[in-house]
Structures are given as structure tokens and as C-alpha cells.
């Protein structure tokens, strides 16, 4: 250090160096925190989100808060997939959960969808006399969620899980297949389904609706199936489409079948109509 350097200049240099070290330490600590906490945090967030949505759940009338023990429901949920190969979770693994939170039999209110999810949910949010699976407790808690377990681990993972089409029996697909089956078993009276008129085959034979829900409709529990074929401006499909004839053929004999073509715009007009429960 030269003689020319004054005391104050030296102090400033020293302070700068200390600030530099301070920042470096802070960054290092931050990196360690992010690495150590981020992954477990996402898991804790997943569980906390599950329990929060479960406790906040209100039925369609918006009145009754969940009367369920949400910690217990989480426990039953977790038991279905933890420690399992993420692609080998059988539908039956979710039985205890689905039995603990059964779907109520609500005649004339069951609303199903296939490739019309967003529209149908906008609709049932305003039309409280219709209920989709995602309007129920379990459906609303797990809608749009992705999760899995891993062999040799008792943890829940939310990243690195199979994508929707990776395997038939992922935790997510098995849950929804089991829940859809139980929901269809609880359907009674007049059942409504909104199908997409904008696709070539509105009744797609590989869909959850075709493979899981329709085979569970029996007369006289289910009186009729009312198909609303949702069309857009350039939709080519009509109620006469062959795939819809297939649907009619697959339906149990005593069930009445009805198909109505309906422009999407008109459904959105209904949604904005304040009057509740206008029959479709």
C-alpha cells in the first residue's frame, strides 16, 4: 500500500471489499436455501394446497363447508400411490379414498364433458343445478394437478412424474379413471353430456366418457342421456354423425337418447343470463 493513499480512501476500499464478501456470502446462502428447500417446499405446498382446497370446499349451493377430515383424506390419497412405480398404480388403489368420500346421488344434475372441459366448467359455475366431477370435493381438489410416488420412497413428487399419455396406470390417470367410474355410478335420472362438434368424432371411443362413463349407465337408474353437441362457426359435425350413432348403440336399452346441436355462443349467452337452472 502506497504512502499516498489516505486513511479515508483505505477505509472505503476495505468497506467495498467487505460489501463484496457480504454479497457473495448472501448469494451462496440463497443458492443453498433454494437447492435445499425448493423441492421439499413444492411438496409441502402440494399437500398444503390439497388440504386447503379440501377445507375450503363448498357444495354447489355455496353454503356447506366440507364436513370431512381433510388430513384423513390426504392420508388415504397418499396411501394409493406412495412407494409405487409411478406407472404402476392400479385404479383399485384409490378405492379406500373414493369410498371415504362417496359421490352423492344427484338425479338430473350429472353433467359430463369430452373435449369441452373449459366451457362446461364455465357453465356449471353459473348453473348450480348441474354438477361435473370437478365440482365435487375430490374433483375440485385434484383438478389440473400432477403428482406421483416413487419406489422405495414414501414421498409425493410433483415433478418428474409421467405425463398424461406416458402410461395407462399413472397415479393421475388411475385416480381420474376411478373417480369417473364412481361419479358415473352415482348418476341418475336425466344425464347431460356436452360433446365437441368441432372435432371429427364427437363420441371418441377411447375417451373416458366412452370407455368408463357410458358403460355404467343403466336403466331405470339413468332415464335419459341428453347430448349437447357444442358447435363453433366452422363445425362440420352434426347429431347424425356416425360416432353418435355408435353412442346410441352402446347405450343400455331402456335409456332415452337425445342430441341437440348448440352453438357455443348461445351457451355463453345462457351463462351470462342471471336466471338459474334454465333447462338445456
| Chain residues in the site for ligand NAG (CB under 6 A) | 107-108, 154, 189-190, 200-201, 226, 236-237, 241-243, 256, 258, 260, 280
Q: Which long-range contacts (CB under 8 A, 24 or more apart) does 20-27 make?
A: none
Q: Closest CB to ligand NAG among 39 and 280?
A: 280
CA distances, 235 to each of 3, 201, 262 (Å): 87, 11, 11
Q: Closest CB to ligand NAG among 130 and 176?
A: 130
Q: Closest CB to ligand NAG among 51 and 107?
A: 107
**Look-up of cell digits 348450480:** 128
Q: How far is the CB of 205 from ligand NAG (least distance, A)?
A: 8
Residue 156 DSSP code: -
Q: How far is the CB of 13 from ligand NAG (least distance, A)?
A: 51
Contact residues for 143 (Cβ-Cβ < 8 A; gap 6+): 134
Q: How far is the CB of 212 from ligand NAG (least distance, A)?
A: 19
Q: How far is the CB of 23 from ligand NAG (least distance, A)?
A: 37
Q: Closest CB to ligand NAG among 18 and 52?
A: 52
Q: Closest CB to ligand NAG among 134 and 190?
A: 190
Residue 83 DSSP code: T
Q: Residue 76 in contact with residue 100, Cβ under 8 Å?
A: yes
Q: How far is the CB of 196 from ligand NAG (least distance, A)?
A: 11
Q: Closest CB to ligand NAG among 146 and 243?
A: 243
Q: How far is the CB of 236 from ligand NAG (least distance, A)?
A: 5
Dihedral sign from CA coordinates of 147, 151, 153, 159: negative
Amino acid at each position: 500500500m502506497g504512502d499516498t493513499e489516505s486513511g479515508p480512501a483505505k477505509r472505503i476500499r476495505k468497506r467495498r471489499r467487505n460489501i463484496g464478501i457480504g454479497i457473495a456470502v448472501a448469494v451462496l446462502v440463497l443458492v443453498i436455501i433454494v437447492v435445499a428447500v425448493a423441492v421439499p417446499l413444492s411438496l409441502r405446498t402440494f399437500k398444503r394446497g390439497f388440504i386447503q382446497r379440501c377445507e375450503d370446499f363448498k357444495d354447489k349451493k355455496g353454503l356447506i363447508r366440507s364436513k370431512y377430515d381433510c388430513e384423513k383424506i390426504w392420508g388415504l390419497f397418499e396411501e394409493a400411490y406412495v412407494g409405487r412405480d409411478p406407472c404402476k398404480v392400479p385404479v383399485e388403489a384409490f378405492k379406500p379414498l373414493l369410498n371415504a368420500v362417496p359421490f352423492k346421488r344427484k338425479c338430473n344434475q350429472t353433467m359430463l364433458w369430452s373435449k369441452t372441459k373449459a366451457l362446461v366448467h364455465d357453465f356449471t359455475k353459473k348453473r348450480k343445478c348441474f354438477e361435473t366431477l370437478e365440482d365435487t370435493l375430490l374433483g375440485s381438489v385434484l383438478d389440473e394437478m400432477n403428482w406421483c410416488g416413487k419406489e422405495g420412497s414414501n414421498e409425493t413428487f410433483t415433478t418428474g412424474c409421467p405425463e398424461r399419455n406416458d402410461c395407462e396406470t399413472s397415479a393421475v390417470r388411475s385416480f381420474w379413471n376411478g373417480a369417473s367410474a364412481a361419479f358415473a355410478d352415482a348418476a341418475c335420472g336425466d344425464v347431460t353430456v356436452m360433446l365437441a362438434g368441432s372435432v371429427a368424432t364427437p363420441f371418441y371411443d377411447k375417451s373416458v366418457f366412452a370407455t368408463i362413463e357410458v358403460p355404467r349407465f343403466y336403466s331405470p337408474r339413468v332415464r335419459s342421456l341428453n347430448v349437447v353437441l357444442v358447435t363453433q362457426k366452422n363445425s362440420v359435425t352434426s347429431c347424425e354423425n356416425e360416432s353418435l350413432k355408435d353412442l346410441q348403440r352402446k347405450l343400455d336399452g331402456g335409456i332415452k337418447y337425445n342430441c341437440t346441436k348448440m352453438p357455443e355462443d348461445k351457451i355463453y349467452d345462457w351463462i351470462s343470463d342471471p336466471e338459474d337452472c334454465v333447462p338445456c
